[in-house]
Amino acid sequence: MENAFLSLAPEEREVIISHGTALRVSDLRKRLFLAESKVQRFEGKYRKTLNQMETEGLPDDADYELHEDYIMWRHWTAVAGKAAMETDYET
């Protein structure tokens, strides 16, 4: 595939790279939007940020739902951070 790409005219390679970059940035922005939406839902539900939750610790009487939410909250926060970094890098 690399040889086929390199055999193209420089203008064609530039078009392909431009389109690929646009698609990648669009995908990252969608992922960032989704992740930030999930994080905001948890922040609204528990009326605090993940950082505050981790500083305070989970309540002693935390139920199964809170534990599951905490795991997903951490996941989506990590996804948002990674997507934000990659989006900044790509633009």
CA dist 45 and 77 (Å) reads 15
Q: pLDDT (tens digit, 9 = 90+) per residue, 36-54?
A: 999 999 999 999 999 999 9
Q: Name the residue with tokens 């989006």.
A: 87
Rounded-to-integer distance, Cα 25 and Cα 78, Å: 18
Say what the pLDDT of residue 89 is. Answer: 63
pLDDT band at 88 (very low <50, low <70, confident <90, very high): confident
Prediction pTM value = 0.79
What are the pLDDT digits (tens) for 61-82?
A: 999 999 999 999 999 999 999 9
